[in-house]
């Protein structure tokens, strides 16, 4: 029996204990997900022999035996893996895709459980879930509540500045930094065509394309995402307290996302402070006299920005918790 909803609404699994296969487990995100799953009770992780990792027949056979697969693959390979899994028909496993291939694709649930009150149930019921990008996780977490509350119009000219540890940049970037051949800090994506923009717009509910300026620093993991605002350009000219209240209300019941008092940090934030956690912290820094504010999200790009979100989604989909 596949991992699908029965007539009673319960979820049936192929074995007594739900099973997961990480397709691409040898990569950075795959290793992080496997480490986190090892700490969960009531779940079994299946692996494929290293020699068969690129063998479609071997992968398909394993897919048929598990309840859920996690794709930690490049976009094109992820699309091929989805086609391979879906070719199993009634035996097809559920899917969490950590690539960017399906984040705005029709039929895919967006795996940011704190998006709104309905999203945990959307993820629980979904066959296919797209794990969010690390940068959009921070930006959407800041923008979406303000748009929903009417404090920011959908066509507001948003600018997102962000810095990430080099582990979010893929194998070549990781190798360059660890070999000492990369710069200490660099801006990139300056062609303003970054692949995360479509999901940022779709799930931030923005109709005007934001300016997104990512950067990478010479540290392995950690992330800060910041959005500057002129408060007098927003509808109703809200105060910083109004923005903070909207964020606090939105995340009042969230386990992993919290709104933190900015004053305690004296105008400074350490990008590495949440490393090795699945937390996401939000801040509203402001200067009331100048009517300016900077919204900031802090997270581990490998935690809530990748593996932590994937494990949260797996928990929801397999009935193990995780909201």
Q: CB neighbours of 323 closer than 8 A, spacing ≥ 6?
A: 113, 120, 255, 312, 316
3-state secondary structure at position 309: helix
Q: Element (H or E) spanning 215, and its range?
A: strand 211-217
- How many other CB atoms sit within 10 Å of the CB of residue 260? 16
Q: Element (H or E) spanning 84, and its range?
A: helix 75-86
- How many other CB atoms sit within 10 Å of the CB of residue 41? 6
> Is there a contact between 214 and 145 (Cβ–Cβ < 8 Å)?
no
Q: Distance between CA atoms of 22 and 24, rounded to whole angstroms? A: 6
Q: What angle do CA 20, 22, 23 make, to 5 degrees?
A: 130
- The token pair at 241 is 């307290």
Residue 43 CA: distances (Å) to CA of 97, 131, 249: 19, 20, 33
- The token pair at 27 is 């990569």
- The token pair at 139 is 């930006």
Quick check: is 72 catalytic? no
Active-site position among 33, 109, 134, 318: 134
Residue 119 CA: distances (Å) to CA of 80, 97, 116, 139, 254: 27, 17, 6, 17, 12
- Point out the residues that are catalytic: 134
């Amino acid at each position: 029996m596949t991992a699908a909803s029965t007539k009673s609404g319960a979820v049936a699994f192929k074995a007594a204990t739900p099973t997961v296969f990480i397709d691409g487990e040898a990569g950075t995100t795959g290793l992080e997900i496997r480490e986190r799953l090892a700490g969960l009770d009531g779940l079994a992780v299946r692996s494929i022999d290293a020699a068969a990792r690129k063998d479609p027949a071997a992968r398909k056979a394993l897919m048929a035996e598990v309840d859920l697969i996690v794709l930690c693959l490049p976009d094109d390979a992820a699309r091929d893996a989805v086609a391979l899994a879906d070719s199993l028909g009634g035996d097809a496993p559920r899917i969490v895709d950590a690539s960017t291939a399906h984040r705005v694709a029709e039929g895919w649930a967006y795996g940011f459980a704190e998006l709104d009150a309905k999203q945990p149930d959307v993820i629980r019921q979904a066959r296919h879930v797209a794990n969010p990008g690390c940068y959009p996780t921070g930006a959407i977490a800041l923008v979406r509540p303000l748009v929903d509350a009417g404090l920011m119009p959908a066509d507001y000219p948003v600018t997102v500045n962000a810095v990430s540890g080099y582990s979010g940049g893929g194998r070549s970037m990781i190798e360059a930094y660890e070999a000492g051949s990369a710069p200490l800090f660099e801006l990139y994506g300056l062609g303003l065509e970054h692949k995360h923009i479509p999901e940022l717009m779709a799930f931030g509910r923005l109709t005007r394309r934001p300016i997104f300026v990512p950067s990478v620093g010479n540290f392995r993991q950690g992330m800060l995402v910041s959005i500057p605002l002129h408060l007098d350009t927003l509808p109703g000219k809200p105060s910083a307290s109004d923005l903070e209240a909207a964020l606090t209300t939105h995340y009042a019941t969230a386990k992993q996302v919290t709104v933190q008092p900015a004053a305690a940090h004296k105008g400074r934030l350490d990008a590495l402070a949440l490393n090795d956690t699945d937390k996401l912290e939000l801040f509203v820094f402001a200067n009331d006299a100048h009517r300016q504010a900077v919204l900031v999200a802090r997270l581990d790009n490998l935690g809530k920005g990748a593996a932590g979100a994937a494990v949260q989604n797996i928990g929801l989909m397999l009935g193990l918790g995780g909201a």
